[in-house]
Chains A and B, each alone.
Chain A
Amino acid sequence: MSEIKVDCTGETCPVPLVETRKALRKAKEGDIVEVVGTHPSSKKEIPMAVKALGLELMDVQEKDGIWKIKIRR
């Protein structure tokens, strides 16, 4: 089991969503993908994608406009 980090800081639509999906496709079952970013809408839309993909949303945090989302594949 490994942890994959995706940095989308400063990126805008649709990059955070797309990069999250790319990382999740590469991840193996049980792997954790951690996405960091600043695009406001992606903070709520990445969890929507996680739900649609039937994966586990582990954690969503935000501090000073930078959010961090943890997903388990």
Chain B
Amino acid sequence: MTDKTIIIVHSGDMDKVYSALIIANGALAMGMEVSLYFTFWGLQRLKKGGLDKGPLSKMNMLGLGKWMVKRKMQKVGVVSLEKLLQDFKELGGKILACDMTMEIMGIKKEDLRDDLITEYCAVGTYINEARESTVTLFI
């Protein structure tokens, strides 16, 4: 059996989306199968042009904190969320989008980056994957 990881991306905060994608890519690199389940605020990040639009989870200070952290990240050589997402797809990662969130927030398929999304689904798909995963996280 291949080891599997599933991560619920509930938060849309920039730093937390970074955590989710870094862990996901690390797991793929180490030979695991990985699914990311985007729901609620996390799903906003799959909107066209929305990937790095999230605030910093702490000390955002109307965007000033985020700007400072982003600048520091660039200095240290941290890659962009877009690069992490492209690598995630290239290494065979799956992206699941919560269809209930879409209804609640009035998000349509055409608002989302449909080409990246493997499946539109709900809790049943998450549990189905989680029950055979050795790593499950809620971010």
Contacts and interface: CB of A to CB of B under 8 A. Distances in A.
Contacts of B29: 14, 17-18, 20-21, 49
A15 B25 CA distance: 9
B115 interface: no
Interface of A is mostly: helix
Chain B's interface size range is 10 to 19
Interface stretch (B71-79, B100-108, B126-134): B71-79
Interface in A18-64: 18, 20-22, 25, 48-49, 52-53
Given A21-B28, A49-B29, A49-B31, A12 B90 contact: no
Interface residues of A, number: 16
A21 to B, nearest CB: 4
B64 interface: no
A41 B20 CA distance: 19
Nearest to A49: B30
Contact of A18 (B31, B77, B87): B87
Interface of B: 22, 25-26, 28-31, 76-79, 84, 87, 90-91
- Give the top 6 A-B pairs by smallest Cβ distance, nearest first: A21-B29, A17-B29, A49-B30, A53-B31, A52-B30, A52-B31
Interface of A: 10-15, 17-18, 20-22, 25, 48-49, 52-53
